[in-house]
Amino acid sequence: MTSDSNGSSDGSTSGSGGGTGTGSTTGDEFDAPPTIDLLTVNGESDALKVVAAENLHFEALASDDEGVDAVELFYRGESLGVVYDEPYTWDVVVNSADDDNGKHTAYAVAVDTAKQQSDKVGLDIQVLLPAGGTQVWQVIDDDATLAKAHGVAVDPAGDVIVVGFENVSSEPVPSRMRIRKYRGSDGEILWERHVPEKNKAAPKGHSVARSVAVDSQGLIYVTGELDLDGETSHLWVGKYASEGLLLDSYESSVPHSQGNDIALYEEMTDNDKVESTVYVVGHATKPLLTSGILAAFDPDLDPVWQENSIAVEGVDSILNAVAVGNDGDFVVAGAYGLHLEDTRGYIAKHKPNKATVWWRASNTPANSEDVAYDLGITSDGRISGVGRRMLPGYPEALWLFRLDSAGNDIGSEVDTDQMCGSNGCALKIDAEDYHVLGGALRLAPGPDFLVAKKNADWEDTWIESYDGYDGTEDRCLGVTADGVGYVYGVGFETKDDVERWWVSKHHP
């Protein structure tokens, strides 16, 4: 719960003019005490039903023959601050972590210049939490420029970093990477960066940021592909300060390569500093073979090691996802198959020095193909992932898979109503081991943007879909969850045949 008292306080226990309470001094017994004539919340003096994440605006009217000195408001047993001058107002952001489905009481007390205290005047407020998945806010670009959001992460302050690309027109190329930071509470854009930078180089090729991770210090790591000449792309990694300053970057020398996902493993150094090992996966398209790429970097983005192949030799492969477990081992996922046809899903576990612990191929049915697009690791080491299973008649069926820490299959399923397209789908495992899923819902005339929350056994907690514009194609390509359970989905909507950048926040 946060509050602002008469526009001058950002906390929940202070008011304009300072002070910590009205006290209980009775003052001159011959003077009448002050009175609270009216207390309202959002303009209503009766009990008000409110929805989580709305603002509660309290206002009190007080009077006294000798003059009112101050008014103090209490909500849920806590002071929201003392206000010394009219108007006597306080603002509170209702939030689901503090305000559960129940009644809460607010009351005001006034003190006059003789330090006499009024009677308490109160309100009972019913807080109704919205259903899981309900949108808190949404940001969609409303112009004729093609743009897609691919990755999302939340920083320690609760702000949201979203990465993807924007084109200079509605055409597929050229494009530049777009990196935006939004305020988590309301979706306001705090800053925006581009690669290549707008004021330095006009894009000629297709440059895309595909994944983002944020460490506990607020440092931002981004990966994707950089194509400056329109002929050759290179895997790219960038490191940004919380304020948006580019601190370091790395561009691979491998031609026709791209970064698809990024993950961090933080550990304490001997100097009591927290440092991150940065893991990046992707692939490189060569004349005869497409090969998955796996690389590790130090915090300054100097390469520690790089592997340009997977455990299955002599076949085409891609790596789309990487996640790090609590023990420092990491898991990657993607697909392999000759010419990337008749593909099977690929999942492998590695030690920090890149040594392979185990690898597994999906149990792909006949006449089908699997591609793993994203994965996560639970607190006890189990692995969950999502991808696309191309079935006859259902080329974009959502494939859900689970493995134990040793790589044994502990359950997979396919959903033909929920979709994972060629742009991918997304998975995030939150602090409570719930699975947050992003993709699309199969509807006519076009798929809808989908966010869902499932437990560790893939049982639905909630599923929500959103139609961006007139039944056209809308998809979620990236998801994450913050420390209190709010879910963020990013992707695109289609309007007038142009794909437009989409970011939205959803209730837990």
The pLDDT tens digits of the residues spanning 461-487 come to 999 999 877 778 999 999 999 988 899
Q: Which region among 157-161, 168-172, 321-325 has the lowest average model confidence (pLDDT)?
A: 168-172
| pLDDT tier at 144, thresholds 50, 70, 90 | confident
Taking a C-beta distance cutoff of 8 angstroms, is the pair 385, 323 a contact?
A: no
475: tokens are 């998809």
pTM score of the predicted model: 0.82
Q: Is the pLDDT of residue 187 over 50?
A: yes
Q: Could you tell me which residue, 428 or 4, shows the higher pLDDT?
A: 428
Q: Could you tell me which residue, 48 or 156, shows the higher pLDDT?
A: 156
Q: Which region among 139-148, 332-341, 399-408, 446-455 has the lowest average model confidence (pLDDT)?
A: 139-148
386: tokens are 């999502």
Q: Could you tell me which residue, 469 or 53, shows the higher pLDDT?
A: 469
Residue 446 makes CB contacts below 8 A (sequence gap 6+) with 471, 472, 473, 474, 494
Q: Is the pLDDT of residue 173 over 90?
A: no
Instruction: State residue 5's pLDDT score.
Output: 52
Residue 338, SS3?
helix
Residue 67: other Cβ atoms inside 10 A = 10
312 φ/ψ angles, rounded to the nearest 5 degrees: -90, 115
Taking a C-beta distance cutoff of 8 angstroms, is the pair 293, 318 a contact?
A: no
Find, among 455, 432, 506, the residue nearest to 476 by Cα. 506
Q: Is the pLDDT of residue 254 over 70?
A: yes
Taking a C-beta distance cutoff of 8 angstroms, is the pair 123, 48 a contact?
A: yes
The CA–CA distances, whole Å, from 395 to 342, 343, 492 equal: 12, 13, 20
Sign of CA dihedral 94, 96, 99, 103: positive
Instruction: State residue 29's pLDDT score.
Output: 53
Find, among 99, 78, 72, 97, the residue nearest to 16 by Cα. 72
Q: How long is the chain?
A: 508
Instruction: State residue 204's pLDDT score.
Output: 86
Percentage of residues in the chain having pLDDT higher than 90: 69
What pLDDT digit, counting tens, does each position of 364-389 carry? Answer: 998 899 999 999 999 999 999 999 99
Distance CA(453)–CA(86), nearest Å, equals: 46
Q: Could you tell me which residue, 16 or 318, shows the higher pLDDT?
A: 318
State the number of CA atoms in the 13 A half-sphere of 448 facing the CB: 16
Distance CA(66)–CA(432), nearest Å, equals: 56
Mean pLDDT of 107-125: 92
Mean pLDDT of 222-228: 96
Q: Which residues of 134-165 are buried (b: 16+ CB within 10 A; e: fewer)?
A: bebbbbbbeeebbbbbbbbbbbeeebbbbbbb
What pLDDT digit, counting tens, does each position of 256-307 carry? Answer: 999 999 999 999 888 888 899 999 999 999 888 999 999 999 999 999 999 9
Q: Is the pLDDT of residue 10 over 60?
A: no
Sign of CA dihedral 194, 197, 198, 203: negative
Tell me the domains of the chain and their CATH numbers: 2-128 (2.60.40.10), 135-506 (2.130.10.10)
Distance CA(4)–CA(22), nearest Å, equals: 18
66 φ/ψ angles, rounded to the nearest 5 degrees: -95, -5
- Computed over every residue of the chain, the mean pLDDT equals 89
339 φ/ψ angles, rounded to the nearest 5 degrees: 60, 25
| pLDDT tier at 338, thresholds 50, 70, 90 | confident
